Every structure is written in C-alpha cells, then in structure tokens.
Amino acid sequence: MKIKLDHGYMKKIKYITLGFVIIYIIYLVMTNIGDVINGVSDAFSFIVKILSPFLWGLAIAYLLNPLVRYFEKILSKIRINKKWDRNHRKQRRTIIRGISLFLTIISIIVIITLLVNSVFVMINGSFREFNISDLLKEITDRFKNYSKELSGLDETLNNMGIAANITQFVRQIAEGLVAQITNIATSITTRVTTIGRYVIDISFGFVFAFNFIMNKEYFQNLLENAMRLVLSEKKKNGLKEILHEINIVFLSFIRGKIIDLTLLSFVTVISLIIIQSDYAFIVGTFAGYTNIIPYLGTWIGIIPAVIIALVKDGWQAALFVGAYIVIIQQVYYVFVSPKIQGKSIGMHPVFILLAMFVFGKFFGLLGVILSIPMGGIVKIFINRWVKRRQDKKSIALIDLKK
C-alpha cells in the first residue's frame, strides 16, 4: 500500500528542523565567540598574506592611475601621423599609456630624490658648521665630572656599610641587560624578516600594477562579464553605483590628505620661522609630509630638526625643537585636520576621530591610515539604508546641515 505524504506537513517539518539547526549553530557561535573570531581573523590574515602582492598591485595601480591619466590626456593631443593614428588606435593607446606610465614613475622618483637630497643637504650643512673637537672636549669634561661624582658616591656607600650589596645589584642589572639585548636581537631578526617579506610583496605588487594599468580595459571588461554572469541587471547596476561612490570617497580622501599635509607643512614651516630655526622651510615641509604615516610620521619628521639643533646648539635646543614640532602638530591634528578630512568626504570631525580609534583598534597602523575612507564607506551603506527606510516609511528627517 502506497503511503500518501502530506506535502504541506512535510514542508513545515523542514522549516522547523532548519530553524532548530540555525538556532543550534547560533548557540555554538555565541558560546565559542572568542574562538570563532580568532578563527575568522586567522583565516582572513592567511588569505591576505597569500594575496598580498596582488592586493599591493591593486593599491599601487589605483594610486598611480590618476597621474597616468593626466599624462595620457596631454599626450593624446599630440598627433604625428593622423592616418596611422586612425588605423592603429589600439597600438597608439598602448604606446601613449606606456609613455604615461614611464613619466609617472620618473616623476615619483624625482620627487623622492629631491626630498631625500634636501634632508641630506640641511643635515650636511649643519655638520659643516659643527666643530668635532669642541664636542670631544665637552664629552671628556663630562666623563671627568661623572668619574668624580662616582668616586664620591663609592666613598659614601662604604661609609654607610652598604657597598657589599652593590656587586649583587650590578650583577642583577647585567643579567637584565643581557636578557633585554637578547630580546632586542630576536625582535630585530623578526623585523628584518618581515621587512624583507614586505619588500618582495611590494616588488611583485609593482609588476601587477603595471599590468593592471597597461591592460586596464581588459580587466574592466573582465569584471563587467563576471558581474553579468553572477548578478541580475538590477543588482549589477546597484553594485556599480556603490563601487562608484566608494571610488569617489577614496579620491576625495586622497585630495583631502594632500591638502591636509600641505597645510600642516605650511603651519610647521611658519612655526619654525617664528623660533628662527635653521632650514625652516625644508625641515617644516619634511616634518609635515611625513605625517602621511599616523603616529610615527611626527616622530620621523622631527629627526632632521633634532639632529640640526643637536649639532649646532646642543641637546637642550634639540629637545626644545623636537617637543615644539610635536606639540604644534598634535594641536593641528586635534583641531584642524579632522575638519579638513571630514569636509573632503562629508563626515563630521567626531566621526573622523571615532573611525580612527575603531579601525586602528581592529587593523592597527593600516587601519589608522585607511580609517577615513573606511569610515566614508560605512557612511555610504548607512546613507543607502536610511534612504530605503525613509522611502518605505515616508519618514521626515531633520536636515543635519542646518
């Protein structure tokens, strides 16, 4: 006898079973949330490490593309043989793009060379005015004074009856120093290995970037075909709109960052001129633009200024100049920079600072560097959600720009 199944009843059983499975999975995830987060983080890090050269290539190509396009516009206006140009448009485009890419690389190399040369010029100029014999005499005098002070300290300790403990104390310090030196050596080895890996990844990244730029239309069409195969026309257009908005955010961030660093350099130069610091223009410009690296940029930027002050006016002047630049730049970053960056992508300064803290916490230094465009991307999705919600519920919202 054939048993007749109630399909409606079986469908309900399937949904109920699926519901229990989902609830059980959620329970497992929530009770092991730490392990899940660590597992996802490790998997993500592993994938990023494998794709690192490819990702570097995308980033480098994205940054170089505006300058390449600028040179392309200029070179495309030059016509030597109009007939050949009409019949060989693809070859002409390839030649123009290759020359544009070459000019872009040369421009970047020239800028970096001028910057490095300026640093050497100002430091070398300071050393020329520096008398090494005076430094040696000062060091000798200081050691003599320290020797006298130590002799007096030794006599005082003997009189107090605690000199016997000094040997044990010194031994403990020595053991601690040996341990610290071992840790530092291990850390240096690890750092060198990491830096070597980054150099290799970035080198291959440039190879990827050159291919991406030279064959830009091919990869654009490849992405278009992939979206057509996977997504419906509506979803494809929606994704392209989102990618277009993200592109605008990143370009606005780059423009805003250039303006921000230029203004910071100007403020630093003026501040150094006020205290009559040597090489104020070069030092201030260098100290400003090194702030493209958050946190570390300020400390890297003050190195030339500190060296110049040290060799010319002593350690007190070096300490003053270093602290002076740090304070000026920190005040700038608290009160001015968030407004400039916020205006570039349409975010309030409070949310700029929040993005820096949040993305810095999760992704470290890279998170801080990219916190503003990442915050802008989050803003894009929030704005799209707000618009859908507003259209669906017919909600009248307060204009936040007033």
Q: Find, among 122, 139, 72, the residue nearest to 285 by Cα.
A: 122
pLDDT value for 208: 93
Lowest mean pLDDT among 2-11, 24-33, 296-305: 2-11
Q: What is the dihedral of CA 314, 316, 318, 322, to 10 degrees?
A: 180
Specify the residue for token string 């618009």. Answer: 387
pLDDT value for 7: 63
| Domain definitions of the chain by residue range | 8-50, 52-130+182-215, 231-397
Specify the residue for token string 């002047």. Answer: 317
Report how far residue 201's alpha carbon sits from residue 54's, in angstroms, rounded to the nearest whole number.
8
Quick one: tokens of 138?
A: 């000062």
Report how far residue 302's alpha carbon sits from residue 309's, in angstroms, rounded to the nearest whole number.
11
**Do 305 and 299 form a contact (C-beta atoms < 8 A)?**
no
pLDDT value for 36: 67
For residue 308, the SS3 value is helix
Residues 69-86: what's their mean pLDDT?
77
pLDDT value for 50: 86
Lowest mean pLDDT among 174-188, 215-229, 240-254: 174-188
Residue 6 vs residue 250, higher pLDDT: 250
Report how far residue 283's alpha carbon sits from residue 277's, in angstroms, rounded to the nearest whole number.
9
Report how far residue 55's alpha carbon sits from residue 303's, in angstroms, rounded to the nearest whole number.
32
pLDDT range class, residue 398, cuts 50, 70, 90: confident
Four-residue CA torsion sign, 376, 207, 202, 287: negative
What Å distances lie between residue 122 and 55, 105, 127, 281, 285, CA to CA?
37, 26, 9, 10, 12
Tell me the residue type at 242: I
Indicate the length of the chain as a whole number: 402
pLDDT range class, residue 1, cuts 50, 70, 90: very low
Residue 32 vs residue 284, higher pLDDT: 284
For residue 161, the SS3 value is coil
Instruction: Reply yes or no on whether the pLDDT at 240 is more than 80.
Output: yes
Residue 60 vs residue 18, higher pLDDT: 60
pTM for this predicted structure: 0.65
Tell me the residue type at 162: I
What Å distances lie between residue 50 and 54, 60, 275, 367, CA to CA?
9, 17, 50, 19
What Å distances lie between residue 162 and 40, 155, 159, 279, CA to CA?
58, 11, 8, 53
pLDDT range class, residue 273, cuts 50, 70, 90: confident
**Do 68 and 101 form a contact (C-beta atoms < 8 A)?**
yes
120-153, pLDDT tens digit by residue?
A: 665 555 445 545 565 556 556 655 665 565 555 5
Q: Find, among 245, 244, 260, the residue nearest to 379 by Cα.
A: 245
pLDDT value for 85: 61
Report how far residue 335's alpha carbon sits from residue 340's, in angstroms, rounded to the nearest whole number.
10
What Å distances lie between residue 274 and 191, 270, 301, CA to CA?
40, 6, 18
Report how far residue 305's alpha carbon sits from residue 323's, in angstroms, rounded to the nearest whole number.
11
What Å distances lie between residue 250 and 152, 246, 349, 367, CA to CA?
65, 6, 17, 14
Report how far residue 53's alpha carbon sits from residue 199's, in angstroms, rounded to the nearest whole number.
10
pLDDT range class, residue 193, cuts 50, 70, 90: confident
Specify the residue for token string 């993305």. Answer: 359
